[in-house]
A = this chain, B = another copy of it.
Amino acid sequence: MSEHDTTVTQEHSGGKLRAGITELLPAAGNGLLGRRSFVKAGLGAAGGIALMQAVPASAARPGHMRSPGPGMSEYGSPAPAEANVKRIGIGSQRGTTGSGASRSPLEHLHGIVTPSGLHFERHHAGVPEIDPASHNILIHGLVKRPLLFTMDALARYPIVSRLQFLECSGNSGTLLAADPPQLSCGELHGLVSGSEWGGVPLAVLLDEAGVLPAARWLIAEGADASVMSRSVPLAKGMDDAIVALYQNGERLRPENGYPARLFLPGWEGNMSVKWLRRINVTAQPAMTKDETSKYSDLQPDGSSLLFTFPMAVKSVITSPSPGLAMQGPGLYQIAGIAWSGNGRIRRVDVSADGGKSWVQAALDDLVLPKSLTRFTSAWRWDGSPGVLLSRAVDETGAVQPTRKSLMSNRAAGAFYHYNAIQAWRVGEAGKVNNVYV
């Protein structure tokens, strides 16, 4: 994008001088700037934002500088001023005490790690309270010898850790509605989170049990009251699956499967069975209630895709987004997350004119496989209406589809695996709305 940048030097002219920095010219329609705006010294072009104020001559020090604050704590918490940053939609489904979902408030977060306290939840019978001292994991079925692992035994195995996303396949499903729901980014897309997951490679445990030649599937079963169960191809179990014990450095949180969960990188969330108690090695999938009544994709011809394992390439702009109003014309950072169950994100393009023109966004340093990836792009907003889009491409070459394209391959009522491009309309007053384009 360097052809869009020219270096200029301006003279001092009061409060608006910018000297010796790179002036950025639009690289795409409606004020989108080139990638270099974020990756080199030309960054200084953000200059228009800084508030130059006269420094108060005798500013009194605030109270918190005049007397010491409270001391250390055993386990810290967010700042009271951030109390509005919490999981979204924590009500249980009607008639249940703990079934349902909560979402990560994506529009308030900035990282590829989601704090464990804000990781999305999806429970089918609430969060079981499990005593780790009496919890075991059984591997049985088509194996030479069934094995029962205590948590203490598991902790003596080699533990690997990786930064990867987890996404519920029902994420973003409300966007199948005929009219665009006027919800926040987190309300729409917050069934995805990122963590450092640490655990024992499942292949190690399967090797030890001795998988028999006829084996093709693993039936993973949770210790919640719904006995959530999914069929997993043996090949995934021998590839990058882990029995996770750690999340972001500490033991799993209860709502994420304490004391142990299956973790299948890149695959739909409920296959990463929480509160794992049993893996039955079989020749066939089990056709459990959790993969037939739910989590299957109806097609236009009336047939159903029973299994859709990897979560497809996807992205969303988290800022600006509904609820984060623009504060008048000027320079803004478009920021968002992209991810793919098939590997690394290769690129993300953004548009500020509803898809007429695109510019490649800058990806943050850490572009890891099957992980959240941050992207940013500079936007000089002139105050006129515009429609923001982001479109991710993964390392397999898969491109995030338009909503129109995605809907053309779906039956009415098909709900899972919605990964279409999200459009945000920025109105004249700076308000941001969800729109279909």
Copies in the complex: 2
Contact string against B for A residues 87-129, beta-carbon threshold 8 Å, 1 for contact and 0 otherwise: 1011110001111111000001111111111110101011111
Binding site for B on A (CB under 8 A): 12, 15, 17-21, 37-38, 41, 43-44, 46-47, 49-53, 55, 62, 64-82, 85-87, 89-92, 96-102, 108-119, 121, 123, 125-134, 138, 140, 144-150, 152-153, 156-163, 194, 196, 198, 201, 203-205, 207-208, 210, 223-227, 245-246, 248-255, 258-259, 327, 330-333, 335, 364-366, 368, 374, 376, 378
Contact, CB under 8 Å: B127 / A71: yes
9 contacts between A and B (CB under 8 A): A50-B149, A62-B134, A65-B223, A68-B99, A79-B254, A81-B132, A109-B250, A113-B249, A162-B365
Q: If the complex has contacts A52-B145, A74-B90, are A127 and B255 also in contact, measured as CB distance less than 8 A?
A: no
Contact, CB under 8 Å: B123 / A158: no
Contact, CB under 8 Å: A70 / B127: yes
Least Cβ–Cβ distance between A168 and chain B, in angstroms: 13
Contact, CB under 8 Å: A51 / B366: no
Q: If the complex has contacts A64-B225, A76-B254, A111-B246, are A333 and B159 also in contact, measured as CB distance less than 8 A?
A: yes
Residues of B within 8 A of A110 (CB): 159, 161, 198, 245-246, 249
Residues of B within 8 A of A255 (CB): 72-73, 76
CA distance in complex: A112, B68 (Å): 32
Q: If the complex has contacts A97-B71, A162-B366, A374-B161, are A253 and B78 also in contact, measured as CB distance less than 8 A?
A: yes
CA distance in complex: A249, B100 (Å): 24
Residues of B within 8 A of A66 (CB): 225
